[in-house]
A and B are shown apart, each in its own frame.
Chain A
Amino acid sequence: MTVPGPVTVDDAVRDALDAYAGLQAVAEEVEDEWMYVQDLAAAHRERLEAIAAEDAGRPIDLAAAHRERLEAIAAEDAGRPIHAAVAAGITAACEEVGRITDPHRAIDWLSTFPSVVAVALGREP
């Protein structure tokens, strides 16, 4: 069975960073907060890149916090790759922020989205 979406942690982070760049471009329309947007994006991009570097090449299921439970579920449902839910989660989050057109809301999401990705990958916010 082929699962759509990222397979490894660095795949997932690459997709997230692409979505994040789009979000940043929308947020930059708020001129008064331009510097904040740059600082915010740099800080969160750095964290996501660090996660990707730490877990480069690792299948995303192995990066999840609840590996044992994921494996138990996979054992019960042998045809379903265990990373499917995480891959779908990150893809859905990327799509969600891709729809944002309001620059003020984009600023809210610049701080929230990287943490959403981190939580999906089994990290703390």
Chain B
Amino acid sequence: MRFQDASKDARAVVYAGIQADPLVGRVAEALCDAPASVRLLARAVMNGESDDETTWRTVFPTLLGATADPAVRSAAEAVLPAALEVAAKGASARDQYRGAIVEELTARLLSRRATAVRRERRVLFDGVPTEIHPYDVTVEDAGRPEVYDCKWGARGIGDDVLHQLDDARRHAEEDDVRLPVALVVLDTARTCAVRLDRTYAPRDGTAVVTLESMGDLARGVPAPGLPGPRA
């Protein structure tokens, strides 16, 4: 088993420009240590409705109001202006920014416990046709590989991505390599469970990391399965 850079087509070149935008890094950094409630704030704002800061301060009194816990409020204050900048983008650009932010957030969290965190990489196995789509984020530390696909919302979870992750895990196993595979989704566990409930694609060996459990990426390899809602 080995990793390889994905080939750069026109889409990838455009997307690389978005990935490199400092705004992506700012949002991701602000979300790294944020509690789940603040990640939800980011999701709500970047869903792209009101671009009025006052509206969001009204909608989230327990995060941004005078009564909010100071640490939570500080995290929310860091996220709000950057999320509003993303929300102000046109619909098509906003979709790409949102995807890039989930990837960047995933990569930053993984970088806290791994040294070789890479982006847009293929996983190659001898005698197995190469997958068309690269994996969004990979950990390539010697002897401890991991692969991640990232989604803005549960709606992005489809049979194709579940098959691709499971295929990689199984092929690695055939090469006697343990390859943890995971889907990182900036959506709630409840919503991901609904989405996964009607899929017949293999997923027993795939971890699903949600808005509630993202912080755990920095602490260890996520276990297969979907953690339940935390309240």
Contact = CB atoms under 8 A, between A and B. Distances in A.
B183 to A, nearest CB: 15
A116 B40 contact: yes
Contacts of B198: 35-36, 39
Most buried by A among B48, B65, B193: B65
Interface in A38-68: 39-40, 43-44, 47, 64-66
Contacts of A99: 49
Most buried by B among A39, A112, A118: A112
Contacts of A93: 59
A80 to B, nearest CB: 11
B229 to A, nearest CB: 7
B14 interface: no
Nearest to B197: A39
A40 B153 CA distance: 13
A124 B231 contact: yes
B42 to A, nearest CB: 10
Nearest to A86: B61
Contact of A33 (B40, B62, B155, B188): B155
Given A73-B66, A88-B61, A124-B212, A100 B49 contact: yes
A109 B188 CA distance: 12
Given A105-B47, A111-B188, A125-B212, A85 B59 contact: no
B190 A43 contact: yes
Interface of A: 33, 35-36, 39-40, 43-44, 47, 64-66, 69-70, 73, 85-86, 88-89, 92-93, 96-97, 99-100, 105, 107-109, 111-112, 115-116, 118-120, 122-125
